[in-house]
Amino acid sequence: MRDSRETFVNHAFVTGYPVKHSRSPLIHGYWLKQFGMEGSYRALEVTPEAFPDFMRQLKDGTAGFCGGNVTIPHKEAAFRLADRPDDLSAELGAANTLWLEDGEVCATNTDGRGFVANLDERAKGWDRISTAVVLGAGGASRAVIQAIRDRGVKAIHVVNRTPERACELADRFGGAVHAHPMAALAETMSGAGLFVNTTSLGMDGEQAPAIDFSPMAGDAVVTDIVYVPLKTPLLRQAEEQGFRVVDGLGMLLHQAVPGFEKWFGRRPVVDETLRQIIISDMDKHA
């Protein structure tokens, strides 16, 4: 007799507005195929106005899903509307991963875990640092700040064009986080072991300002959460100046792991084949 778990088919989703650009269906489709599992993962475009109804249908089962991912602009609403958000998503005020448990919608945020897992894979030892610089204070910076703080980085300098937004993050994430205006960038980089760009600078081939990374520690790592193009202008500059660089694609791949495990019951691995599938798709749509 077959194990009942083998015959139970789970269906998961990613929702956003717009969502057609999402590469999550490629990622989860690869893992479903790799494990030889029945199930599906698809993109659903849901407007902000319709999102509360979607969450209700998810909870009562009429949506037909066991859970899914949430992307822009629904992350804050997903957190607010979830029955059981965890501590990670509560501190961020945003959720990107939902699943059903005992008739309730549970929520977490895996962006920060994806960010540090990418660094762990591609820049081993990066966390032996005491100081990091985060460029940008938008929504994308929150998970990065939370994750590196929780990894033990003692001083995180958030540099932003609008210092008030950086101050909000310092208030949210505690004493390890310090807010600065753009004019202080060179000063904050002095001796830092990690530089993270969380802004859209250099996205889709746009120009980015020249940055002198030389004040940083000699073995510092420079990374970018943007992954189109794979090697952003900031990463090119850092590499030319002799620093280790890590592209943002791995963050996308690794943040998907916990969700897949929740919905489908198997923990997948981010491998080079998957990475190349996504890079090929990026090249196709370049």
Active site residue 231: no
In the beta sheet, which residues pair with residue 101?
Answer: 104
- Classify strands 84-85 and 67-70 as parallel, antiparallel or unpaired: unpaired
CA angle, residues 23, 133, 129, in degrees to nearest 5:
100
C-alpha distances out from residue 274 to 31, 213, 252, Å: 9, 32, 11
Kind plus residue range of the DSSP H or E element containing 54: helix 51-60
Distance of alpha carbon 135 from alpha carbon 150, whole angstroms: 18
C-alpha distances out from residue 199 to 3, 18, 69, 70, 137, Å: 48, 20, 22, 20, 8
- 3-class state of residue 272 by DSSP: helix
In the set 20, 33, 75, 262, the catalytic residue is 75
With contact defined as beta carbons under 8 Å apart, do 184 and 206 qualify?
no
Tokens representing 170 are: 């310092």
Q: Find how far residue 114's CA is from the centre of its chain.
A: 6
How many C-beta atoms surround the C-beta of residue 204 within 10 A?
A: 10
Amino acid at 281: D
Name the phi and psi angles at 263, rounded to 5. -80, -35
Distance of alpha carbon 149 from alpha carbon 132, whole angstroms: 10
Distance of alpha carbon 199 from alpha carbon 160, whole angstroms: 9
Distance of alpha carbon 41 from alpha carbon 90, whole angstroms: 26
Catalytic residue numbers read: 75
